[in-house]
């Protein structure tokens, strides 16, 4: 599925509460943004294009071939951290190849899972390219910088999850194939699609920052696990990447352990501390920095969450792995230049009194 820079104005409905992926009740507005990202300032966006006139508008956003009189596409998109999650229902169409990272500004990975119908992915021409047919519960990991066409000869329902390729959970991704396919027997594909659908059914705008962080962590874990399942081993590079992804997932679920660090991680992975450190040579963050960054993210979310307004800094330190209020204060000030108390007061001032 290939996206380009957006310049059109398709119909969009913004919703605050949803009971199904296609539910939309609020007033219509227009969009000039990428159709697979939420509208600026919105948590979730529901859009619909139908007929020849809408096709012409949509083609300004996404290089698309379809019959105007039968063209229709509905989508519901929400953002969780770095992940853009979209549920899409469409008729027969083809998204042309353009290798533009699906309209995103950075190198992007896309996970496509088919819920109903069939979708054909193809790179190159019919004589020299690669192609695959995705049927119900099949999926594929697609590189946004590879020219891949997406074709559906009949109506289809799909879930799409986009994430920057340099995301910490996907460090060192090999660039060996334009797409990698998983069949319906790949359990994590179905789990990822089901989780994404459930997220899009929620009243997303009412979620507190801490809950959204927990949801994002779960989505990150499912996505990276699915990538590990789908990707084809390619020698030492793949093995190193797979191990790094394992480390990142472990940190995401064990950051509250005050003993978590290179030594305990190495013991968990069954390798020496030096071998673990070498895994992250050349990466943006070292193992110790990844642990600290995760803890800081988690404590900032709790400082800004009204449910933790009465929680002391000592208690927050225990919940986030810092071990002491002093260590927490130092980490927060180093990361933000602000004290925890100032950040909490500023955030809570923006919440209505209960």
Going through the chain in order, the beta strands assigned E by DSSP cover 11-14, 28-30, 44-50, 64-65, 72-80, 83-90, 93-95, 108-116, 119-123, 130-134, 139-143, 149-152, 156-164, 179-182
In a domain, 211, yes or no: no
Q: What is the CATH number of the domain that holds 336?
A: 1.10.10.60
Q: What is the CATH number of the domain that holds 77?
A: 2.60.120.10
Count of Cβ atoms closer than 10 Å to residue 287 Cβ: 23
In a domain, 248, yes or no: no
Task: Please tell me whether residues 179 and 278 are part of one structural domain.
Answer: no
| Rounded Cα gap, residues 193 and 190, in angstroms | 5
In a domain, 247, yes or no: no
Q: In the listed set 206, 240, 271, which residue is the last one of a domain according to the structure?
A: 206
Task: Please tell me whether residues 81 and 191 are part of one structural domain.
Answer: yes
In a domain, 5, yes or no: no
Task: Please tell me whether residues 96 and 201 are part of one structural domain.
Answer: yes
* The pLDDT of residue 294 is above 70: yes
Q: Contact 150/110 with Cβ under 8 angstroms?
A: no
| Rounded Cα gap, residues 221 and 199, in angstroms | 15
Count of Cβ atoms closer than 10 Å to residue 306 Cβ: 17
Its domain, for residue 86, covers 11-206
In a domain, 213, yes or no: no
In a domain, 215, yes or no: no
| Rounded Cα gap, residues 321 and 319, in angstroms | 6
Task: Please tell me whether residues 168 and 277 are part of one structural domain.
Answer: no
In a domain, 237, yes or no: no
Q: Contact 277/262 with Cβ under 8 angstroms?
A: yes
What's the number of domains the chain is made of? 2
Percent of the chain with pLDDT over 70: 82
Task: Please tell me whether residues 196 and 260 are part of one structural domain.
Answer: no
Task: Please tell me whether residues 198 and 323 are part of one structural domain.
Answer: no
Task: Please tell me whether residues 116 and 175 are part of one structural domain.
Answer: yes
**Around 174, how many Cα atoms within 13 Å sit in the side-chain half-sphere?**
19
Task: Please tell me whether residues 195 and 291 are part of one structural domain.
Answer: no
Q: How does pLDDT run across 19-28, given as a tens digit for each residue?
A: 334 333 333 3
In a domain, 3, yes or no: no
| Rounded Cα gap, residues 354 and 124, in angstroms | 58
Task: Please tell me whether residues 133 and 32 are part of one structural domain.
Answer: yes
Q: How does pLDDT run across 225-242, given as a tens digit for each residue?
A: 888 777 655 444 556 766
Rama region for 133: left / alpha / beta (φ>0; ψ in -120 to 50; rest): beta
SS3 content of the chain, % helix, strand, coil (to 5): 40, 20, 40
pTM (2 d.p.): 0.68
Task: Please tell me whether residues 59 and 198 are part of one structural domain.
Answer: yes
Identify the CA nearest to 256 among candidates 210, 294, 289.
294
Higher per-residue pLDDT: 204 or 70: 70
């Amino acid at each position: 599925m290939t996206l380009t820079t957006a310049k059109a104005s398709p119909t969009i409905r913004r919703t605050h509460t949803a009971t199904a992926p296609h539910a939309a009740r609020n007033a219509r507005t227009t969009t000039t943004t990428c159709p697979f990202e939420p509208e600026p300032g919105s948590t979730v966006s529901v859009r619909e294009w139908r007929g020849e006139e809408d096709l012409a508008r949509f083609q300004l956003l996404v290089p698309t071939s379809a019959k105007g009189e039968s063209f229709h596409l509905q989508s519901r998109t929400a953002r969780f951290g770095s992940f853009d999650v979209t549920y899409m229902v469409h008729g027969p169409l083809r998204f042309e190849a353009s290798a533009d990272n699906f309209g995103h500004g950075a190198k992007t990975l896309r996970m496509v899972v088919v819920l109903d119908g069939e979708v054909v992915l193809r790179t190159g021409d019919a004589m020299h390219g690669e192609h695959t047919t995705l049927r119900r519960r099949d999926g594929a990991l697609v590189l946004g910088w590879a020219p891949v066409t997406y074709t559906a000869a009949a109506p289809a329902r799909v879930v799409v999850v986009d994430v920057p390729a340099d995301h910490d959970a996907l460090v060192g991704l090999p660039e060996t194939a334009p797409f990698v396919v998983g069949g319906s027997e790949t359990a994590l594909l179905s789990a990822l699609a089901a989780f994404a659908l459930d997220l899009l059914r929620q009243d997303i705008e009412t979620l507190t920052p801490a809950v959204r962080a927990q949801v994002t962590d779960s989505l990150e874990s499912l996505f990276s696990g699915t990538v590990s399942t789908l990707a084809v081993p390619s020698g030492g590079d793949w093995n190193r990447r797979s191990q790094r992804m394992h480390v990142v997932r472990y940190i995401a679920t064990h950051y509250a352990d005050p003993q978590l660090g290179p030594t305990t991680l190495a013991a968990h992975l069954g390798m020496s501390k030096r071998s673990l450190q070498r895994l992250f040579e050349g990466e943006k963050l070292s193992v110790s920095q990844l642990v600290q960054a995760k803890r800081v993210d988690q404590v900032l979310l709790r400082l800004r969450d009204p449910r933790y307004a009465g929680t002391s800094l000592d208690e927050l330190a225990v919940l986030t792995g810092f071990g002491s209020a002093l260590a927490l204060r130092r980490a927060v000030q180093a990361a933000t230049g602000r004290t925890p108390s100032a950040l909490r007061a500023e955030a809570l001032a923006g919440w209505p009194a209960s």
